[in-house]
Amino acid sequence: MSDKKYWQSFGERSNSEAFQKSSEDEFSESLPLEGLDGKGLLDAKTPRRDFLKYLGFSTAAATLAASCEMPVRHVVPYLNKPENTIPGVADYYATTYTIGGDVIPVVAKVRDGRPIKLEGNKVSSLGQGTTGARVQASVLDLYDTARLRFPVQIVDGKAQEVSTFEAFDKLVADALAGAGGAVVLLTGTITSPTTKQIISEFLAKYPGSRHVQYDADSYSGLIQAGEASYGKKAIPSYKFENAKVVVSLGADFLGTWLTAEQFSRAYAKGRKIDEKNPEMSKHFQFESLLSLTGANADERFTHKPSETGAVALALLAELGGSVTAPALPENLKAGVKKAARELIENKGKALVVSGSNNVNVQIIVNAINEAIGATGTTVDWASPMMTRQGIDSEMNTLVADLNDGKVGALLVYGVNPAYDYFDAEKFKAGLKKTKVSVSFNDRLDETTELVKFALPAPHFLESWGDAEPKPGFYSFLQPTIAPLFKTRPFEDNLLKWSGNATTYEAFFKQYWIGKLGGMEAYEKALQDGVVEPAASAAGGASFNSAKTGDAAAALAAGKKGGAYEVVLYQKIGLGVGAQANNPWLLELPDPVTKATWDNYAVVSPEFAKKTWKDMDLSDRRQADGYEVFPKKQVIKVKVNGKELTLPAVIVPGTHNEVIGIAVGYGRQSADPKNTADYIGRAAAGDDGSGTGVGKNAFPLMSFNGTTVDWFGIDASFEDVKDWYKVAITQTHYGYEGRTEVVKELTLDEFKKNPSTVLEEREKELKPFGGVENFEKQGTLYPTYDKPGIKWGMSIDLNSCFGCGACVVACHAENNVPVVGKSEVLRFHDMHWLRIDRYYSTPGGKLDNPDDVQVIFQPMLCQHCDNAPCENVCPVNATNHSSEGMNQMAYNRCIGTRYCANNCPYKVRRFNWADYTGADSFPNNQDQKTVGKLDPAVFQMNDELTRMVLNPDVVVRSRGVMEKCSFCAQRLQEGKLKAKKENRVLEDMVDIQTACQQACPTDAIVFGNANDSKSLISTTRAEHAQRLFHVIEEVHTLPNINYLAKVRHTEEVYGVAEEGKEATAEKHS
């Protein structure tokens, strides 16, 4: 604190005699108080000031004693403080996110022995520190209440604890000895070199045994196509950063396809605009549903899944391949032609990817990439990706073997085929026939509850380990917390059962010390988290065109679909459902539909119009009816002899004859009553029936002889005349021509007149002095200087793809409560940061799914310098900091909600109920009549789950308003750090907001705008032409600015048209 003295007058400053006297005589007339004894007021027994103090104190004491009975919670201090740990100071450990084969190097923030937040590891060259929603959320899985806490033996469907590991080892050893038949190890993709070695040692012990890798999100087609075309059974690395033209045939490479986080970062490099030299990559998307990637594409064409092969063939033919182009609808033909032209023009700087799991399609795509010179430039075969290795046919063989009784023992690790295998019933039947079955999964999931023995493996944050996503790129795991439960690493078990006495930890250490050449290198590797080879250029591979012809023939002979076709896809939150009990992910709105907590049938507006007479979304009245009520029509989808009853959510951009269904939902135990205990309360759903959140769509898949198809081409549906409520956080479709909210323009327009956006702003603000003088002239009130720090944020709409990593990161960093589906339905979601999604179509028409443009706009507290929320709060609970932040004093808030009403951005969130258990009223979460809270809320309030809370951020009680704080705790920490080190605050080093750090594409820039060298200042200066503030003319003076979206298209729908019409009218 400074020792500044404030003075009110010169007398006080010089403390002159006259002043002293006058201050004594201030109250010259003494008041007739008792106890004065004729002396001055200040000499009385109880002088005036003391009297007020007593009064204040006694009132406060009485109030405290009378009303503030708070539940007592004990803090237990360390008896012996652990070395190297300072309570309250976070430690950071490099480790690796490894779930379902994904390998993402991360840094875990550990506070007082508990990992509470994951950040990307910037040392890694793979993605340079990117994370995604699922990575951000995975720290919560560590504290999942449904995790299996000890080894169990399952007898007659009942799990019985096995008291010691020794006892368990003996049970399994005996069982294995008497198993007879092969021992099969069924795992997900294993990228760990040490694990692979241990597996091979284990397999060597058991003759006839084998290891099967199975991926629920199968890339079998892609891998096998690599084998056919290049003799390499692998997935090449894709270098999106080198591609000027990207054509995606249904690959959701920004959302869920392979390492989408890393692809997003690479792809964003081609999407960011340099104002001095505006260039952008061009992105074509051919797909059936509106995926996140399609939503970001420049040109988008929809087709039925049965036409996938035809589109690929047509493209190859157009590029001069020796195949005949099949018949295609006009729109596709034109699209293919357009894409081909661009690809040819950018030979060597183009890339075609396909999301199909069909080997033949992928072979054609390989041929296309050959034709456009992608191999060796944008498709890197020198360093293939190893994060998916499962081959569908191997799994099929295994399931057949299980049913034939050929397998003596099945050891399952990290996969859940009883849930996510397309023919789960057959797998279950086979599993039943298997004598010995062991699972190492973390909970009694659908597969584990059917095995005989289960020994839970620790979470990756509790584990030692390594991963090799690409040859030579190693990423390490180290424990960030002592195991919470009686778990044992999978590798330990194999070592033990193959008669090796070393533990995995020792094995791991020995292996890497040997490989890296010493303890020092080993420790450095752990510290960095990664070991990587020197950067090398992309490499090609010799292409074998022999298979292309066969593939083309096979595709040309492909079956034609029925009236409707079904596409199965993954949502960015849940993926294939491995993290299905994660409330953060369940409550993360889907980037496109903005729906939470459920899966549903995605249908087109045309589909809805045809099916229901009052659902024409181009009619405002009917659209209102659809959007203001959460209940949606239910349809029964029939495909491949299976059916699924789901609510229909209308998404423009869906092919008119396609129904889309997300997988990863509908987790359910054999006996639904067990779902909440075995799989988790959140995953079990809100109605207590235990049938799970959403419906399981995996059974709708089918096997085409080589791979699993993620679609069904002969589908039908039935209107079951029922309703189901879907919790959607954003109900309205378009932005109604409100260019004050979002600004977008085409690349050509931008090139022609780079100051279009600026001129538009100038026009809007003209009545108030224009952009330059708006701050002063837009108000009657005086304006003030803003010296010192002034926090600012810039969000680039060109590189925000809507992935939602920031949303989950904000949840984790700021202890944002989970409210559950029933509360989201009531529009009570608490996201501090949300991503607004707006569709626009030409002339507001919705019949053509190809003509849909999407814009994503992250929306959070704008930290207005003239904040409408601040002046209306009757108790000053929200006010402005000298650093330009709009801050909340939760303790002061009485909950009038006026601030939220008066927020033009609607970013304030009110604690409608006691979501966190922090309320003054104990046990008030048992609402019965209105606002019943879901099991997910209780799961989040469990003592175990609460360990994930960030101790630097207060947990808000009900009745209090909350909102984005610009991660004030991080800023404070950064400022103190700089101060302690006696240096200037450096942004990106000392301070980063959670959303900024999580963003895979660096769309969010944050820092001190008063520092001309900070990134925020340079960003604003370099992008001055695209910079705008949302609804600027309201004179809120936000500290967040956006950069207008530039589209590499011919026109921008919606707004621009309306604008043009308006000007045309004026001129005519």
Positions in 846-905 near another protein (CB under 8 A):
857, 859, 868, 871-876, 892-898, 900-902, 904-905
Q: How far is the CB of 46 from another protein (least distance, A)?
A: 16
Nearer to another protein, 834 or 863 (CB): 834
Site for another protein in 495-554 (CB under 8 A): none
Which residue in the set 33, 42, 52, 64 belongs to the binding site for another protein (CB under 8 A)?
A: 52
Nearer to another protein, 47 or 959 (CB): 959
Which residue in the set 2, 929, 982, 1068 belongs to the binding site for another protein (CB under 8 A)?
A: 929
How many alpha carbons lie under 13 Å from residue 942 in its C-beta half-sphere? 16
Using only C-alpha atoms, what is the Rg of the chain?
31
Nearer to another protein, 182 or 872 (CB): 872
State the amino acid at position 1016 in one-letter form: I
Does the protein bind another protein through residue 1030 (CB under 8 A)? yes
Are the CB atoms for 203 and 494 separated by under 8 Å?
no
651 phi and psi angles, rounded to 5 deg:
-125, 115
Does the protein bind another protein through residue 39 (CB under 8 A)? no
Which residue in the set 49, 906, 979, 1013 belongs to the binding site for another protein (CB under 8 A)?
A: 906
Binding mask 428-467 for another protein (x = CB under 8 A): ----------------------------------------
Nearer to another protein, 482 or 780 (CB): 780
Q: How far is the CB of 625 from another protein (least distance, A)?
A: 8
**What is the b/e burial string over 390-424, where b = at least 16 CB atoms within 10 angstroms of the residue's CB?**
bbbebbbebbebbbeebbbbbbbbbbbbbbbbbbb
Nearer to another protein, 106 or 885 (CB): 885
Measured between alpha carbons, how far is 791 from 809 in angstroms, rounded to an integer? 20
Residue 564's beta-bridge partner residues?
715
Q: How far is the CB of 1047 from another protein (least distance, A)?
A: 20
Q: How far is the CB of 36 from another protein (least distance, A)?
A: 22
Q: How far is the CB of 701 from another protein (least distance, A)?
A: 34
Q: How far is the CB of 890 from another protein (least distance, A)?
A: 10
Contact range with another protein by CB under 8 A, out of 419-427, 482-490, 595-603, 820-828: 820-828
Does the protein bind another protein through residue 50 (CB under 8 A)? no
Measured between alpha carbons, how far is 674 from 200 in angstroms, rounded to an integer? 36
985 phi and psi angles, rounded to 5 deg:
-65, 130
Tokens encoding 455: 């020994």
How many alpha carbons lie under 13 Å from residue 33 in its C-beta half-sphere? 16
The Cα diameter of the chain in Å comes to 115
Q: How far is the CB of 874 from another protein (least distance, A)?
A: 4
Which residue in the set 27, 54, 723, 827 belongs to the binding site for another protein (CB under 8 A)?
A: 827
Nearer to another protein, 280 or 824 (CB): 824
Nearer to another protein, 1030 or 1044 (CB): 1030
Nearer to another protein, 667 or 828 (CB): 828
Q: 522: exposed, middle or buried (C-beta count within 10 Å: 0-12, 13-18, 19+)?
A: buried
Does the protein bind another protein through residue 1034 (CB under 8 A)? yes
State the amino acid at position 848 in one-letter form: N
Measured between alpha carbons, how far is 326 from 315 in angstroms, rounded to an integer? 10
Q: How far is the CB of 1055 from another protein (least distance, A)?
A: 12
Measured between alpha carbons, how far is 250 from 256 in angstroms, rounded to an integer? 11
Are the CB atoms for 562 and 692 separated by under 8 Å?
no
What number of H helices and E strands is found in the chain?
Answer: 36, 41
CA 336 to chain centre: 32
Site for another protein in 730-749 (CB under 8 A): 730-736, 738, 740-741
Site for another protein in 607-646 (CB under 8 A): 620-621, 624-625, 627-630
Measured between alpha carbons, how far is 993 from 106 in angstroms, rounded to an integer? 17
Ordered DSSP codes for 155-195: ETTEEEE-S-HHHHHHHHHHHHHTT-SEEEEEES----HHH
Nearer to another protein, 294 or 1054 (CB): 1054
Does the protein bind another protein through residue 779 (CB under 8 A)? no
Measured between alpha carbons, how far is 460 from 442 in angstroms, rounded to an integer? 11
Nearer to another protein, 620 or 983 (CB): 620
Per 3-state DSSP, the chain is made up of helix, strand and coil in percentages (nearest 5) of 35, 20, 45
Which residue in the set 511, 912, 975, 988 belongs to the binding site for another protein (CB under 8 A)?
A: 912
Tokens encoding 555: 């595709």
Which residue in the set 8, 67, 80, 277 belongs to the binding site for another protein (CB under 8 A)?
A: 67
Measured between alpha carbons, how far is 59 from 93 in angstroms, rounded to an integer? 50
Tokens encoding 420: 């996510």
Does the protein bind another protein through residue 961 (CB under 8 A)? yes
How many residues touch another protein under the rule CB under 8 A: the total is 77
Does the protein bind another protein through residue 598 (CB under 8 A)? no
Nearer to another protein, 710 or 905 (CB): 905
Tokens encoding 823: 């509360």
Contact range with another protein by CB under 8 A, out of 114-122, 302-310, 661-669, 727-735: 727-735
Nearer to another protein, 913 or 1040 (CB): 913
**What is the b/e burial string over 305-315, where b = at least 16 CB atoms within 10 angstroms of the residue's CB?**
bbbbbbbbbbb
Does the protein bind another protein through residue 910 (CB under 8 A)? yes
Q: How far is the CB of 688 from another protein (least distance, A)?
A: 20
Nearer to another protein, 91 or 627 (CB): 627
Tokens encoding 529: 């988290």
Measured between alpha carbons, how far is 193 from 293 in angstroms, rounded to an integer? 33
Tokens encoding 688: 């207590």
Which residue in the set 397, 645, 920, 969 belongs to the binding site for another protein (CB under 8 A)?
A: 920
Q: How far is the CB of 224 from another protein (least distance, A)?
A: 43
Does the protein bind another protein through residue 927 (CB under 8 A)? yes
